[in-house]
Amino acid sequence: MPRESKKAKIERTAKIIGGLRATYPDAHCELDHRNPLELLIATILSAQCTDKQVNIVTADLFKKYRRAPDYAAVPLDELQEDIKRIGLFRNKAKSIQNCCRVLVDSHGGNVPTTMDALVALAGVGRKTANVVLGNAFGVNDGIVVDTHVGRLARRLGLTAEKTPEKTEVALQKLVPRADWMMLSHWLIFHGRRRCSARKPECGECEIAPLCPSEKDGEYRE
In the chain the domains, ranked by start, together with CATH numbers, are: 6-28+143-216 (1.10.1670.10), 36-137 (1.10.340.30)
pTM: 0.92
Share of the chain above pLDDT 70, in %: 95
Residues catalogued as catalytic: 127, 146
d(CA 29, CA 2): 36
What average pLDDT score do residues 93-122 get? 98
**pLDDT for 47-58, tens place per residue?**
999 999 999 999
For residues 56 and 84, is the Cβ–Cβ distance under 8 A?
no
Q: DSSP string spanning 74-132?
A: S-HHHHHHHTTTSTTHHHHHHHHHHHHHHHHHHHTTSPP-SHHHHHTSTT--HHHHHHH
Average pLDDT along the chain: 95
d(CA 31, CA 29): 6
Evaluate the CA torsion angle 24, 30, 34, 38 in order and state its sign: negative
For residues 32 and 61, is the Cβ–Cβ distance under 8 A?
no
pLDDT at 219 over 80: no
